[in-house]
A and B are shown apart, each in its own frame.
Chain A
Amino acid sequence: MIQKIYDWIDDRVDITPIWRDIADHEVPEHVNPAYHFSAFVYCFGGLTFFVVVIQVLSGMFLTMYYVPDIENAWRSVYYLQTQVAHGQIVRGMHHWGASVVIVMLLLHTLRVFFQGAYKKPRELNWMIGVLLFFVMLGLGFTGYLLPWDNKAYFATQVGLQIAEQVPFIGEHLLTLLAGDPNIVGAQTLTRFFAIHVFFLPAALFALLAVHFILIRRQGISGPL
C-alpha cells in the first residue's frame, strides 16, 4: 500500500533522486567512531544540529503559552512552569538546550579549526559556519529577555547600552533593537520576540541549508 502510494507520487514528481542524494553516500573510515574511537570529534556538528532541532520543537511548544507582553510575559512563563503539565520540562529543554548548543557549536568549531578542515575548498562553508555562530549568539541574547524577569531585564539593558556606544549608528541600532531610544519596555519585548522567533530562525534555517548542501557537495575533509 505504502509502496503503491510512493510509486504513484514518484511516477509524477520523480522524488527518488531527491532523497537518494541524501541517503546514498559512503561514510569514510576516518570519521566513523566504530573504527577509530577518536573520530567521536566528528559528532559535534551533528549534535549541534540535533540540539537545534530540540530548540525548534521546544520553542514551538513554548509559544503555545508564552505572551510577548510586559504585563503577561513573566506570568505566562510562571504559569507554564508551575501549572502546566510538563511545562517545566519543556521550558527546561529550551533553557538548557540554549547552553548545550553553544557548547556543541564551540566544540565543532574547534574540531574544524584544529584539523584545518576550513582550508581549500571549504573556505565558504567555514564562513557560513561562523555566521551561524553569530546567529546562535543572537538567539541567545534575544531569548534571554523573553521571560521578562529581573535577570533578563537588566542584562538586556546592559546589552543595549553596549549597542548604543557603537559610533555613528549606535542610536539607530538601539532604536532598532529596543523600539525606543530611551525606554527598555513593551516595545523592546515585542521586538526581541519577533527577532528571536522570526528573523533569526529564518536566517538560521537559510544558513543551515547552505551549510549542509556544501557539506554534501564537498564531502567530509580527509584524514590529517
Chain B
Amino acid sequence: MQRGKGMRFVGDSRISADKTSQVPKDYSEYPGRTEAFWPNFLLKEWLVGAVFLVGFLTATVVAPPPLEGIADPTAAGYIPLPDWYFLFLYQLLKYQFASGDYVLIGILVIPGLAFGALFLAPFLDNGPGRRPPQRPIAVSMMLLALIATIWLTYESAAAVDWEARKEMNKPIPPGETVEIDTSHPGYAHYEANCLACHGESMEGTAAGPTLIGIEYSAEEIADIAVNGTGNMPPGLFTGSDEELEELVDFILSVNEGGE
C-alpha cells in the first residue's frame, strides 16, 4: 500500500513496513490531516468528556442507586438476581442442556469456549485482511455470540417483574421498627386479614412488602386491601366496610407515628 510521501505502511499510520525504529517521526512525515495530541486534540477530548460527565451526573441524580432491605439469609422466598451484565450466564444455566447433570457445560464448557475464543481471537483469526468481509468466519461467530448474549439477557430480564421486586424489597432501617398499638380497633382486623403476609409488626415478609413508610391515601389503602395490587390477589380482606375503615385508620396511624 502506497501512502503519503512514498512510504509503505502495514495497516498502521505510524509503523512502516521498512523501518522498525520507534523514534517518533517529524510531524510532516505523517500522511493525511493529522492533529497534534497536545494540546489541540486533548482539548476536544476534554470537552467531549465534560459533556459526557454532565450527562452521566444528570442520570445519576435522576435515578438514585437502588438499595434493598438488609441481607436476611433466612428469607427463603427471595428469588436471586445478578447484576444485568451477568444475566446471560444466569439464563444459560436455566436450560436443560446446561444444568443438572450437564451443569459443567453451562458453567465451564460454553463460557470457556466463548471467552477463550475471545481471548485468543488474534490467533484464531490470523489472516492478513482486516475488513470484516475478508474474515467471514470470525465476524459471523462474533455476531452469533453477540446475538445470543443479547437474547439470553432479554429472556432473563423479560421474566422479571421489576416493579414488584422493587416494591417487595424496600429498605427498612433495622432497629427503627415502629411501635404497634395493639389496642387500636383496626389491629384486630390487621391480625385477621393482613398479618400472615405483611408480618407481625408490619415489617413485611417474603410474601408481602412492609406497610411502614407507604405513601398511599386512605382510599388507596382501602382499595388495595379489597382489590389487591401487583402480586396481591383481590378479596384478601373479608370484613365489613366499617371494619375496613378501622383497618385503614390503623395502617395510617402507624405510618404517621413512624415519621
List residues of A whose CB falls within 8 A of some B CB.
22-30, 32, 34-35, 43, 46-47, 50-51, 54, 70, 74-75, 77-78, 81, 88-89, 91-100, 102, 110, 113-123, 126-127, 130-131, 134, 137, 140-141, 144, 147-155, 157-159, 162, 165-167, 184-185, 217-224
Query: Are B34 and A157 interface neighbours, CB within 8 A?
Result: no
Query: Are B57 and A89 interface neighbours, CB within 8 A?
Result: yes
Q: Which residues of B contact A218 (CB under 8 A)?
A: 12, 14-15
Chain B nearest CB, measured from A175 CB (Å): 18
Q: Please give 5 more A-B residue pairs, beta carbons under 8 A apart, in addition to A28-B14, A140-B83.
A: A96-B59, A96-B60, A100-B56, A121-B10, A151-B80
Q: Which residues of A contact B27 (CB under 8 A)?
A: 26
Query: Are A155 and B82 interface neighbours, CB within 8 A?
Result: yes
Q: Which residues of A contact B56 (CB under 8 A)?
A: 51, 54, 93, 96-97, 100
Does B6 reach chain A (CB closer than 8 Å)?
no
Does B71 reach chain A (CB closer than 8 Å)?
yes
Q: Which residues of B contact A126 (CB under 8 A)?
A: 121-122
Smallest Cβ-Cβ distance to B61: which chain A residue: A89
Chain A nearest CB, measured from B90 CB (Å): 7
Question: A32-B41, A119-B128, A218-B15 known; A151 and B68 CB under 8 Å?
Answer: yes
Smallest Cβ-Cβ distance to A94: which chain B residue: B65
Query: Are B129 and A116 interface neighbours, CB within 8 A?
Result: yes
Does B118 reach chain A (CB closer than 8 Å)?
yes
In Å, the complex CA distance between A54 and B66 comes to: 19
Interchain residue pairs with CB less than 8 A apart (21): A24-B38, A26-B27, A26-B30, A26-B34, A27-B37, A30-B32, A32-B35, A74-B70, A74-B171, A78-B171, A92-B60, A96-B63, A118-B122, A120-B122, A126-B121, A127-B119, A141-B86, A150-B75, A150-B78, A218-B14, A221-B130
Q: Which residues of A contact B61 (CB under 8 A)?
A: 89, 92
Binding site of A, secondary structure by majority: helix, strand, loop or mixed?
Answer: helix
In Å, the complex CA distance between A95 and B13 comes to: 39
Q: Which residues of A contact B173 (CB under 8 A)?
A: 75, 78
Query: Are B36 and A27 interface neighbours, CB within 8 A?
Result: yes
Chain B nearest CB, measured from A187 CB (Å): 14
Question: A89-B61, A119-B11, A158-B90 known; A28 and B71 CB under 8 Å?
Answer: no
Name A140's contact: one of B24, B85, B118 (CB within 8 Å).
Answer: B85
In Å, the complex CA distance between A196 and B85 comes to: 17
Q: Which residues of B contact A148 (CB under 8 A)?
A: 70-71
In Å, the complex CA distance between A19 and B49 comes to: 21
Chain B nearest CB, measured from A80 CB (Å): 10
In Å, the complex CA distance between A27 and B63 comes to: 37
Does B195 reach chain A (CB closer than 8 Å)?
no
* Max count, chain A CB within 10 A of own CB: residue among B10, B49, B78, B83: B83
